[in-house]
């Protein structure tokens, strides 16, 4: 009886194993379970806690108050709306200030100013945009050479040279920039021959230093996607355009560059997102007027002890990043 029972149980187990193997969802569950657990515990759960904190209030001793009477949009209101304004008036001041900051001519739409948090957010976005444009201007010719002009036997070596800085620590590279831009450095001594620049001049703690750091750190993320797009271009289209009367510049503008647009858009997103949310680079290379939204968030979670405001600022920054990704997808990009 016992032996028959064991056979029956083993037969049931074998049938269950065969059924699970034939089930198309079993493999997906087994493969995704570890990564889903990891993302859930170390990403989604902390994100949910921070989202809840953004609706709370800071207590007298820095604690986060999450009682029903403390929950609300007060942190987002503090971020966007000046204290002495109504909701509609504060939004108008913020929008008018943003328009006046963007347009290249003088306007007088309002006498007020946006909150310091909004001004810092716009400054961070400006850093991200400038770093992206500079990375594109500097990185596109290099990517074009890698993808089209470089001898095939050297392409892999050149790609390795592009990613070579990643073999060094992020902080080591920032400290290297500090050494180059500090007074009496090799670079500053070489620039001392220029009028108005002395050997004791330092470019540290400036907006230029922050921008240089952003471009230096993230430019490989521009070069590699553009290189991948250019490598896939059929350059007979350019030759056909030139046969039809276009010169080299016209063929590049109307044929080559549009075909490399997916790489340009992907590289722009990959450079803009970490540049606009940077913390370490402005902290180590910038001065008091070069702080960005990432420094504000770190201060709120650190020395200021205002976790709700820091959480709200984090989600505002996350919204800006999501908008940039949405613009990328709307422009024809595809996220892997």
Structure confidence at residue 290 (pLDDT): 83
Confidence of residue 18 (pLDDT cuts 50, 70, 90): low
Confidence of residue 335 (pLDDT cuts 50, 70, 90): very low
Percentage of residues in the chain with pLDDT exceeding 90? 45
Structure confidence at residue 205 (pLDDT): 87
Take residue 292 and report the two structure tokens written for it.
């960005």
Rounded to an integer, the average pLDDT of 232-254 is 90
Structure confidence at residue 127 (pLDDT): 93
Tokens 């029956």 belong to which residue? 8
Q: Are 285 and 177 in contact (CB under 8 A)?
A: yes
Choice between 96 and 151, residue whose per-residue pLDDT is larger: 151
In DSSP terms, 57 is beta-bridged to 65
Q: Look at residues 239, 292, 284, 255 and name the one whose alpha carbon lies nearest to residue 116.
A: 292
Distance linking the first and last C-alpha atoms of the chain: 57
Q: Are 312 and 76 in contact (CB under 8 A)?
A: yes
pLDDT at 134 over 90: yes
Q: Report how far residue 76's alpha carbon sits from residue 163's, in angstroms, rounded to the nearest whole number.
A: 40
Choice between 205 and 219, residue whose per-residue pLDDT is larger: 219
pLDDT at 270 over 90: yes
pLDDT at 278 over 70: yes
Q: Report how far residue 91's alpha carbon sits from residue 154's, in angstroms, rounded to the nearest whole number.
A: 55
Report the run of H or E that residue 130 belongs to, with start and end: helix 116-144
Chain-wide mean pLDDT for the chain? 84
- pLDDT tens sequence across 40-53: 999 999 999 999 99
Task: Give the CATH architecture of domain 115-330.
Answer: Orthogonal Bundle (1.10)
Rounded to an integer, the average pLDDT of 291-305 is 91
Q: 185: exposed, middle or buried (C-beta count within 10 Å: 0-12, 13-18, 19+)?
A: middle
Considering Cα of 56, then 60, then 63, then 67, what sign does the dihedral take?
A: negative
Q: Look at residues 155, 280, 157 and name the one whose alpha carbon lies nearest to residue 217.
A: 280
Structure confidence at residue 336 (pLDDT): 41
pTM, full prediction:
0.84
Domain with CATH 1.10.3720.10 in the chain: 115-330
């Amino acid at each position: 009886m016992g032996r028959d029972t064991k056979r029956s149980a083993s037969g049931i187990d074998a049938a269950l194993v065969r059924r699970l193997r034939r089930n198309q969802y079993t493999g997906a569950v087994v493969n995704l379970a570890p990564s889903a657990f990891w993302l859930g515990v170390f990403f989604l759960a902390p994100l949910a806690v921070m989202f809840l904190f953004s609706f709370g209030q800071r207590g007298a001793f820095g604690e986060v108050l999450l009682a029903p009477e403390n929950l609300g949009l007060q942190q987002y209101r503090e971020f966007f709306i000046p204290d002495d304004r109504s909701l509609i008036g504060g939004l108008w001041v913020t929008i008018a200030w943003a328009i006046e900051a963007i347009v290249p001519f003088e306007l007088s739409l309002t006498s007020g100013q946006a909150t310091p948090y909004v001004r810092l957010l716009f400054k961070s976005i400006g850093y991200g945009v400038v770093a992206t444009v500079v990375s594109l201007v500097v990185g596109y010719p290099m990517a074009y050479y890698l993808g089209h002009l470089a001898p095939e036997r050297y392409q892999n070596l050149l790609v390795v040279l592009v990613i070579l800085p990643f073999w060094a620590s992020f902080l080591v590279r920032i400290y290297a920039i500090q050494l180059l831009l500090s007074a009496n450095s090799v670079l500053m001594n070489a620039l001392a021959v220029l009028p108005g620049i002395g050997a004791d001049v330092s470019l540290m703690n400036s907006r230029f230093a922050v921008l240089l750091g952003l471009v230096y750190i993230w430019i490989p993320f521009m070069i590699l996607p553009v290189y991948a797009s250019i490598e896939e271009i059929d350059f007979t289209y350019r030759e056909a355009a030139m046969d039809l009367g276009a010169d080299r510049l016209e063929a590049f503008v109307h044929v080559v560059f549009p075909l490399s647009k997916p790489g340009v858009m992907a590289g722009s997103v990959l450079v803009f997102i970490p540049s606009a949310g940077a913390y370490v680079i402005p902290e180590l290379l910038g001065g008091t007027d070069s702080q960005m939204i990432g420094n504000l968030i770190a201060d709120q979670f650190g020395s200021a002890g205002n976790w709700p405001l820091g959480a709200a600022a984090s989600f505002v920054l996350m919204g800006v990043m999501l908008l940039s990704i949405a613009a990328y997808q709307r422009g024809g990009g595809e996220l892997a």
